Amino acid sequence: MSQLQYLQIPHFITKSGKSTTIELSYQLFGKPLHSAPIVLVNHALTGNSEVTGDNGWWRDLIGNHKCIDTNNYTIIAFNIPGNGFDNKDDNLIENYKDFTAKDIAKIFSLGLEKLEIESLFAVIGGSVGGGIAWELAALKPDLMDHLIPIATDWKSTDWLIANCHIQDTILNNSTQPLADARMHAMTLYRTPESLTQKFSRSKKDIHLFNIESWLNHHGKTLNNRFKLSAYKMMNQVLRTIDITHNRGMFQEVASKISASIHIVTINSDLFFKSDENWDTFVELKLVKEDVAIHEIKSIHGHDAFLIEYEQLEKFLKPIFQLKPKHIENNTHSLVRHW
């Protein structure tokens, strides 16, 4: 496992006007920093900075001779502040409603500045991590060569906000908030067809269906490895994605993003609907040339971006065989391996 490292961001002012000190944790994988093109990977709601290696949640995609090859790239992954991965109670965030997805993008941007990273080959993320990728691209339009938002959107839709509201209500009112919220979420991450294929109304015992046992297991597992304040914080970030807030209409904001944009959607996603992504693609094509959309075909819904690796690799591999557009001007950032 790559060592967890820390950056201090003092006196950070949130969009709500609150001042706080952020200890931003991150991990590096692959080539040494400033020796190769850099890929920023943003984690999903219950994920973390450990994106590759034995316990890496995206190890099928990132690693030695994988689609995002650690022999060719430096991989950096920040932890969304308050996600609890560093096991430091002082870094948990109780005042979670003071933060938005835009704040997280700003914090990531400040982290990159502290690491003297002036350009990125790609920013990639799934679900809420992809939403933060959108926010970072809107904040720093010339930062990255490639923006790759997967199973996500540039905005939190009414449908998404509604479900985040239900999640927040569960997290603040249930007697077993983490487990109950997770069980509710799992029904949105999959589809009826996926659950039918997996369980087919089978029973664990005379009183318990296997689908109920599966949901109980996921609730219990998250309860054992996640903090309540962390879930509240991640859910708040998820419900506040909106790159147009105080910036103008979508096409106006998106047209300023210099990166090539590669949208990856999922035909059966009940969380971030595929139709929304196709509408985004059509709008983007009116103002940008270098835009592409790929659709994962799966019955597994939102979680397909963690399941359908062969399809995902097919879409992403050509991107990660391209040469970088940016070469930083400082002396320690020469890209020698290309």
pLDDT in the model for residue 327 = 53
Q: How far apart are CA 32 and CA 51, in angstroms?
A: 16
pTM of the model: 0.94
pLDDT band at 323 (very low <50, low <70, confident <90, very high): confident
pLDDT band at 334 (very low <50, low <70, confident <90, very high): very low
Q: What is the per-residue pLDDT across 99-111, written as a single tens digit (0 to 9) for each?
A: 999 999 999 999 9
Q: What is the per-residue pLDDT across 232-274, written as a single tens digit (0 to 9) for each?
A: 999 999 999 999 999 999 999 999 999 999 999 999 999 999 9
Q: For residues 119-125, give the mean pLDDT.
A: 98
pLDDT in the model for residue 325 = 81
pLDDT band at 193 (very low <50, low <70, confident <90, very high): very high
Q: How far apart are CA 134 and CA 153, in angstroms?
A: 8
216, 183 in Cβ contact below 8 A? yes
Residues 89 and 212 in one domain: no
pLDDT in the model for residue 142 = 97
Residues 187 and 303 in one domain: no
Share of the chain above pLDDT 90, in %: 93
Residues 247 and 212 in one domain: no
- Report if residue 91 sits inside a domain: yes
b/e per residue 71-83 (b: at least 16 CB within 10 A) = ebbbbbbbbbbbb
Q: For residues 293-309, give the mean pLDDT.
A: 97
Contacts within 8 Å (CB) and 24+ apart, 324-331: 324/37, 324/119, 324/121, 324/145, 325/145, 326/118, 326/119, 326/120, 326/121, 326/145, 327/119, 328/34, 328/118, 328/119, 329/118, 330/34, 330/116, 330/118
Residues 187 and 148 in one domain: no
Residues 146 and 195 in one domain: no
pLDDT in the model for residue 337 = 32
Q: For residues 128-148, give the mean pLDDT.
A: 98
pLDDT band at 333 (very low <50, low <70, confident <90, very high): very low
Choose one of 214, 236, 258: the last residue of a domain. Answer: 236
- Report if residue 331 sits inside a domain: no
Q: List Cβ neighbours of 13 (8 Å cut-off, separation of 6 or more).
A: 19
The total domain count for the chain is 2
Q: What is the CATH number of the domain that holds 282?
A: 3.40.50.1820
Q: Which amino acid is at 291?
A: V
280, 315 in Cβ contact below 8 A? no
Q: How far apart are CA 33 and CA 159, in angstroms?
A: 40
Angle CA 236–94–123, to nearest 5: 45
pLDDT in the model for residue 330 = 37
Residues 29 and 126 in one domain: yes
Residues 179 and 140 in one domain: no
Q: Which residue has the tokens 């034995």?
A: 54
pLDDT band at 297 (very low <50, low <70, confident <90, very high): very high
Q: With 60 as the cut, is the pLDDT of residue 161 above it? A: yes
Q: For residues 5-14, give the mean pLDDT.
A: 96
pLDDT in the model for residue 326 = 61
pLDDT band at 90 (very low <50, low <70, confident <90, very high): confident
Q: How far apart are CA 126 and CA 206, in angstroms?
A: 38
Residues 36 and 108 in one domain: yes
pLDDT band at 12 (very low <50, low <70, confident <90, very high): very high
